[in-house]
Each structure stands twice: as C-alpha cells, then as structure tokens.
C-alpha cells in the first residue's frame, strides 16, 4: 500500500485549525463569529505508517478534530492536510483515501459479518465479485472467518468493533481515523482491537486514534498529542511525556491499616519534600522520588527496622494520568459535559 504524504512529509497535518459550533438559539450559518470554539488553533502532525494517539478528556475536541480531518465538518480557520491533500479544497479526494470508525459502531445487526462487509463493498461501488473477495480478505485479517456467517447480533463487543474496523478498511485507506475504538469493551475485547490496529499499521496504514484511555495511547501509539479545550497542549512520544513529569514513584502497600500513618511518615522522610499521596482504603502510599534505588532501599530498611509489615513495595514509572495532571492541572475528569451522550 502506498502511503501518501504532504510535501511536509506528514500523513495528517493540522495547523491552527479553528472550529466553532453554533450556540443554541444562535442565528445564521454554522460557525459564524460567535459560538464556542471546539477547536481553538489546533495543531497536529502525524508521521506516515504510525499510530498517533490523540488523547484528552471528555469534551476536549477529539471527535471534532477527527470529523474536521475526515471532511465531515468545515473549519473556519487554519490549514488541514490528509494524505497530501488539502482537506478544505479537495474533500472528495481526501474521502477516497481515508477510513473512519466513529465513536459508535456502525454495524447492521440484522446481517452476518460477511453480509455487512459485502454491503459496504457494494456501497463503495466495488462490484459484486470484488466486494465478495474483499469481504473474505478482511474477515480473515480481523480473525472473523469462523464467525463470518453468523448474525452480528450474536457477536461480542470486541468482534463487533473488529467488524466495524474491517468495514472502514474496505477501500484500503492510506489514513484511518479511529474515534475511541475500544470504549466500553472489556480488557479482552480491547486487546483484540489493539491487535487488529497493530496489524493494520504493519500493512502500511497510518492511524489517528482518539482515546480517553491513557494506557491505550501508551500501548499503541508511537506519538501522542494531548488535547485540552480545543488545543494541543503537548506532543511527544509516550516515554518523553512521562519523563516530563519527573522521576519515578515509590509505592508502598501496608499490610495492616493501623500502620498507614507510620508508612506515610517514612515515605515522607525519604521522599524529602515531594508530595506524598495516601489511598487509605487501598492502604497505599506513594510519592515521587529523585533517586529511585536509594529511596526503595531506605524505605524498605526503615520499615523493617520499625517492624512494619508491608504487603507490597516497589517503584513505578509515572503514568500518563500523572502527565495529564501535570499538563492541565485538572486530571482527566470531565471538565465539560459533552452534549452528545458518551
Ligand atoms: N454538534 C455540536 N454542537 C455544539 N457543540 C458541540 C457539538 N459537538 C461537540 N460540541 C462541543 O464541542 C466540544 C468538543 O466536543 P468533542 O465531541 O469534539 O469532544 P471529545 O473530545 O470527542 O469528547 P468525548 O471524549 O466526550 O467524545 C465540547 O465542548 C462539546 O460540547
Ligand atoms: Mg468524542
């Protein structure tokens, strides 16, 4: 599969993109001067052949960004390019190069997996024979061959999402937009979708993946853009983002709830002024430390000397949750209830 890129060398590029939604009761055209800026000078650069994570809390602007890039929404200012094509000037050509899996699966429940894919193939004018052939290839690729002739109503959530992914691949897109592909799936279903995404990228597709799951971006993406209130507030590799929050953390789980205060005291002393966080129900204490090995040794020895039993003690790399908290000051909780049900 050929991967098209812009002159700048990116498969997807956004520069200063602004998108306003019309406020309720506001007259006139969508996206006039008024209205809330769902995208407020949004920048994004996705390297070809990679998974790029677009990470942010509810209402940050992830779906809006995807819909703008996929030509489904017009934007008011800035520049956007997909597969080397200008999104505003050549929306049709962009559409022929992309696939999109929305936040909600678009599978026809009444049909079998195979019938769903053949139907999409015909919708895209592949012709009956080619549609049948393509459906077969995709069922195989997404590990659905065995279930191909069962009604989609009988599919598990993970199988349904895989079928949805397969249907967005009918035309072998250069760039695939996946909007929260694993929301609502259990760990197994999530793992299945991750495998499918990895296989796609191995085949040369570029994937822009939106997610609220920090772990998902961490596992799949080689690059992450963090979006908050319509703006990219960070853009880096998962590791570099974690390094920004500083050092590792030490974590101690007390065996006896009565020892929690003593554990806090010890960790506080060793952490030397860093914030000590206590999770009382879990009997867990953690704190950021500068010298990881020295801190671990010192805490372990000190607790042992005081005769305090621990259930668990160890070092943890910062999570992307920590990164988000550091970058935005408000963690990943909702800061703006979306109008569309999540
Ligand atoms: N059709 C719409 N009309 C008006 N405002 C909208 C519309 N769609 C989204 N918004 C607003 O634009 C902002 C960004 O929404 P968007 O759906 O892009 O966020 P998101 O990051 O995808 O959130 P989620 O994680 O909940 O899917 C939010 O404030 C939302 O309320
Ligand atoms: Mg969304």
Instruction: Give the per-residue pLDDT at 7.
Output: 63
Is the minimum distance from the CB of 68 to ligand 1 under 6 angstroms?
Answer: no
336 has pLDDT over 50: no
Instruction: Give the per-residue pLDDT at 226.
Output: 93
Is the minimum distance from the CB of 33 to ligand 1 under 6 angstroms?
Answer: no
Instruction: Give the per-residue pLDDT at 339.
Output: 33
Is the minimum distance from the CB of 342 to ligand 1 under 6 angstroms?
Answer: yes
- Greater model confidence, 222 or 5: 222
Q: Given pLDDT bands bounded at 50, 70 and 90, which one contains residue 340?
A: very low
Q: Which of 59, 69, 228 to mutate to test the pocket of ligand 1 (most atoms within 8 A of CB)?
A: 59
342 has pLDDT over 60: no
Is the minimum distance from the CB of 58 to ligand 1 under 6 angstroms?
Answer: yes
Pairing label, strands 284-288, 249-254: antiparallel
| Cβ proximity of 223 and 215 under 8 Å | no
Q: What mean pLDDT do residues 36-41 have?
A: 94
Mean pLDDT of the residues in the chain = 86
Ligand 2 centroid from CA 66, angstroms: 9
Q: Angle between the 113-123 and 157-167 helix axes, to the nearest 10 degrees?
A: 20
Instruction: Give the per-residue pLDDT at 24.
Output: 67
Q: Which ligand is nearest to the CA of 35?
A: 1
| Helix (H) / strand (E) containing 99 | strand 98-101
**Share above pLDDT 90 across residues of the chain, in percent, rounded to a whole number:** 52
pLDDT digits (tens, 9 = 90+) for 298-314: 999 999 999 999 999 99
Distance of CA 330 to the CA centre of its chain: 18
Torsional sign, CA 84, 50, 158, 128: positive
Ligand 1 centroid from CA 180, angstroms: 13
Is the minimum distance from the CB of 1 to ligand 1 under 6 angstroms?
Answer: no
Ligand 2 centroid from CA 210, angstroms: 8
* Distance (Å, whole) CA 12 – CA 4: 10
- Looking at the whole model, is its pTM more than 0.95? no
Report which protein residue has its CA nearest ligand 1's atom 4.
21
pLDDT digits (tens, 9 = 90+) for 51-87: 999 998 889 999 999 999 999 999 999 999 999 999 9
Ligand 2 centroid from CA 211, angstroms: 8
Q: What mean pLDDT do residues 158-163 have?
A: 88
Instruction: Give the per-residue pLDDT at 199.
Output: 84
Instruction: Give the per-residue pLDDT at 107.
Output: 81
Collapsed DSSP state (helix, strand, coil) of residue 26: coil
Residues with CB under 5 A from ligand 2 (ion): 62-63
Which ligand 1 atom lies nearest to the CA of residue 338?
A: 31
219 has pLDDT over 50: yes
| Helix (H) / strand (E) containing 314 | strand 310-316
């Amino acid at each position: 599969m050929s991967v098209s890129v812009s002159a700048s060398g990116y498969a997807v590029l956004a520069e200063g993109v602004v998108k306003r939604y019309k406020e309720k009761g506001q007259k006139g055209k969508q996206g006039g001067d008024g209205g809330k800026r769902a995208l407020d000078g949004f920048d994004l650069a996705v390297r070809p052949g990679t998974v790029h994570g677009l990470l942010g809390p509810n209402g940050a602007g992830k779906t809006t960004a995807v819909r703008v890039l996929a030509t489904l929404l017009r934007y008011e200012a800035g520049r956007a390019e997909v597969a080397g094509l200008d999104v505003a000037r050549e929306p049709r050509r962009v559409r022929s190069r992309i696939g999109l899996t929305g936040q909600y699966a678009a599978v026809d429940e009444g049909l079998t997996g195979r019938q769903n894919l053949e139907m999409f193939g015909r919708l895209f004018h592949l012709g009956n024979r080619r549609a049948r052939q393509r459906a077969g290839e995709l069922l195989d690729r997404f590990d659905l061959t065995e279930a191909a002739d069962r009604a989609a109503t009988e599919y598990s959530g993970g199988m349904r999402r895989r079928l949805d992914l397969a249907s967005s691949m009918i035309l072998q897109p250069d760039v695939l937009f996946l909007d929260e592909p694993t929301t609502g799936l259990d760990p197994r279903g999530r793992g299945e979708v991750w495998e499918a995404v990895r296989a796609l990228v191995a085949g040369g597709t570029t994937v822009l993946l939106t997610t609220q799951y920090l772990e998902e971006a961490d596992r799949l993406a080689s690059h992450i853009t963090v979006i908050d209130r319509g703006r990219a507030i960070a853009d880096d590799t998962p590791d570099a983002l974690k390094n920004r929050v500083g050092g590792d953390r030490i974590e101690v789980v007390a065996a006896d709830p009565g020892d929690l205060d003593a554990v806090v005291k010890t960790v506080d002393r060793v952490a030397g002024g860093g914030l000590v966080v206590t999770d009382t129900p879990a009997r867990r204490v953690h704190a950021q430390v500068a010298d990881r090995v020295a801190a671990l040794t010192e805490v372990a020895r000190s607790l042992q000397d005081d005769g305090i039993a621990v259930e668990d003690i160890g070092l943890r790399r910062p999570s992307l949750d920590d990164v988000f908290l550091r970058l935005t000051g408000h963690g990943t909780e909702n800061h703006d209830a979306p109008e569309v049900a999540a």
